[in-house]
């Protein structure tokens, strides 16, 4: 049955990172992959959606491994001539100082419009805020998330973009809800009225399946930074996100619907957050991919024609093995099964799980039936993760 897209709600999708193309350094990992695919899919299907993000001057980190195995983080400065200047500038008050945020448009990669906020503008004392994705420490992270959330809502208003639903991809975007609250409080609504109306506008996607990986901040630090945005007092912040203030818990309580990214993840997430009162059940919505991005067009064409997909598969495999040899000097066997593991280097992602049955895995290696390529990088401040690289 055809969908009347004119009747669909207009969605603003908030995320700290978007992976649209490998040379566009606005992502760190899986969260950005999901967000990029969402916005490409929205464009393909004509859904009324825009993205809100940040223009990162130095990206995440460009890691290098020395001959002795030491991991080095580097931070080049990137410039993107294809970004379009919207002419819009909004301001966010951080630590009682006005921070200007320039708004750029990205529509280069077959994606629905993504509006990126940038504090690296003349006259900004705090131009560093949009320097490094997930960079530095607590205060800097709060400042970045204030730009994303508070600045993002202000950008939507300045651009005149109709928005019915605000989709928060992970808790980083929670401060957008604080700006929605402020608008309603300034219009004369009571706290309870503003909270209920704001909650009805927000949906939330949770990701990280361990409590420790979900971001928290001291409430005093939030107040010092001005993240409360005049919308919450100390007691109300504690009621919303606990103390320390957990961004995921706050988003669960300030959203009308919450989802995990797979059916099993929904089970895990509901168990993790079962003690959080005043939230809806977390439903499972299994991640899909943007097929044109991730599946070789020759493979798709062969499958659609009903012809042999093995030939294009092997062609792609040989290209991969050539790339691996160029990078590492190791030539792998094209006729052996090849597994790839590409994730952020952190213990909970269990990159070593495949080795848990050593006798079986050893026999596969020794017989030449199996080869594995591991790829990924750790957070710049995660020394333990870097040891796993």
Pairwise CA distance, residues 5 & 292, whole Å: 22
DSSP annotation string for 320-335: HHHHHHHHHS----TT
Torsion from C-alpha of 175, 179, 181, 184, nearest 10 degrees = -170
Q: Assess whether 350 and 277 both reside in one domain.
A: no
Are both 85 and 232 inside the same structural domain?
yes
How many structural domains is the chain composed of?
2
In terms of domains, do 118 and 13 share one?
yes
> What value does the mean pLDDT of the chain take?
94
User: What is the model's pLDDT at position 74?
Assistant: 92
pLDDT in tens, 98-126: 999 999 999 999 999 999 999 999 989 99
Residues 74 and 112 occupy one common structural domain: yes
From residue 69, give the alpha-carbon distance in Å to each of 65, 120, 345, 388.
Answer: 6, 34, 15, 11
Last residue of one domain, picked from the residues 260, 284, 308: 284
Asked if 341 and 352 touch (Cβ cutoff 8 Å), the reply is: no
How large is the average pLDDT for residues 184-207?
A: 98
Give residue 379's pLDDT band: very low, low, confident or very high (50, 70, 90): confident
**Residue pLDDT, tens place only, 293-305:** 999 999 999 999 9
Q: Is residue 3 part of a domain?
A: no
What is the model's pTM?
0.92
Contact 338, 373 (CB under 8 A): yes
So what's the pLDDT on residue 65?
Answer: 84
Instruction: Indicate if the pLDDT at residue 348 is higher than 80.
Output: no
CA dihedral 255, 29, 260, 205 (to 10 degrees): 10
Please check whether residues 227 and 317 belong to one and the same domain: no
Strand partners, 92: 99
Instruction: Grade residue 389 by pLDDT with cuts at 50, 70 and 90.
Output: low
Backbone angles phi, psi at 371, to 5 degrees: -135, 145
Per-residue CA distances from 113 to 20, 87, 227, 278, 376 (Å):
12, 15, 27, 34, 29
Token pair belonging to 216: 């928290």
Residue 1 is assigned to a structural domain of this protein: no
Residues 319 and 255 in one domain: no
Strands (E), 151-207: 165-169, 202-205
**Do 270 and 300 belong to one domain?**
no
- 167 lies in which domain range? 8-284
- Dist. CA 150–CA 144, nearest whole Å: 10
Residue 18 falls inside a structural domain: yes
**Higher per-residue confidence, 282 vs 3:** 282
* 370 φ/ψ angles, rounded to the nearest 5 degrees: -135, 140
Task: Give the closest residue to 270 by CA, choosing from 290, 252, 255, 254.
Answer: 252
**In this structure, what token pair is assigned to residue 233?**
């007092």
Residue 286 to residue 34: CA distance in whole angstroms:
11
Cβ–Cβ < 8 Å for 255, 202: yes
CA-nearest of 171, 289, 170, 285 to 227 is 171
Alpha-carbon distance values, 333 to 73, 315, 344 (Å): 32, 13, 26
Residues 117 and 86 in one domain: yes
Domain with residue 237: its CATH number is: 3.40.50.2000
Instruction: For residue range 311-328, list pLDDT tens digits in order.
Output: 999 999 999 999 999 988
């Amino acid at each position: 049955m055809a969908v009347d897209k004119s009747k669909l709600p207009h969605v603003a999708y908030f995320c700290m990172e978007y992976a649209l193309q490998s040379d566009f350094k606005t992502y760190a990992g899986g969260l950005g992959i999901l967000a990029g695919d969402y916005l490409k899919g929205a464009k393909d299907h004509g859904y009324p959606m825009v993205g809100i993000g940040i223009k990162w001057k130095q990206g995440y980190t460009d890691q290098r491994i020395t001959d002795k195995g030491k991991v080095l983080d580097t931070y080049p400065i990137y410039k993107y001539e294809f970004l379009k200047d919207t002419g819009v500038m909004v301001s966010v008050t951080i630590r009682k100082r006005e921070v200007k945020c320039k708004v750029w448009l990205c529509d280069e990669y077959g994606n629905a419009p993504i509006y990126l906020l940038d504090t690296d503008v003349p006259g900004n004392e705090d131009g560093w805020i949009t320097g490094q994705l997930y960079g530095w420490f607590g205060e800097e992270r709060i400042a970045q998330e204030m730009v994303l959330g508070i600045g993002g809502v202000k950008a939507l208003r300045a651009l005149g973009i109709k928005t019915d639903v605000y989709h928060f991809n992970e808790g980083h975007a929670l401060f957008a809800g604080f700006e929605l609250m402020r608008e309603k409080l300034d219009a004369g609504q009571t706290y309870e009225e503003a909270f209920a109306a704001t909650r009805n506008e927000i949906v939330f996607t949770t990701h990280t399946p361990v409590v420790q990986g979900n971001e928290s901040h001291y409430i005093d630090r939030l107040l010092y930074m001005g993240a409360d945005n005049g919308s919450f007092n100390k007691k109300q912040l504690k009621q919303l996100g606990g103390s320390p203030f957990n961004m995921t818990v706050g988003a669960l309580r300030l959203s009308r619907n919450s989802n995990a990214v797979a059916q099993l993840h929904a089970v895990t997430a509901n168990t993790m957050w079962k003690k959080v009162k005043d939230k809806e059940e977390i439903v499972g919505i299994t991640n899909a991919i943007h097929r044109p991005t991730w599946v070789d067009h020759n493979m798709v064409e062969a499958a659609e024609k009903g012809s042999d997909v093995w030939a294009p598969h092997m062609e792609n495999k040989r290209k991969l093995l050539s790339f691996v040899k160029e990078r590492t000097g190791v030539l792998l066997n094209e006729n052996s099964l090849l597994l790839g593991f590409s994730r952020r280097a952190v213990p909970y992602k269990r990159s070593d799980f495949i080795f848990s049955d050593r006798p079986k895995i050893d026999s596969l290696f020794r017989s030449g039936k199996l080869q594995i390529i591991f790829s990924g990088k750790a957070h710049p401040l995660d020394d333990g993760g870097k040891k796993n690289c």
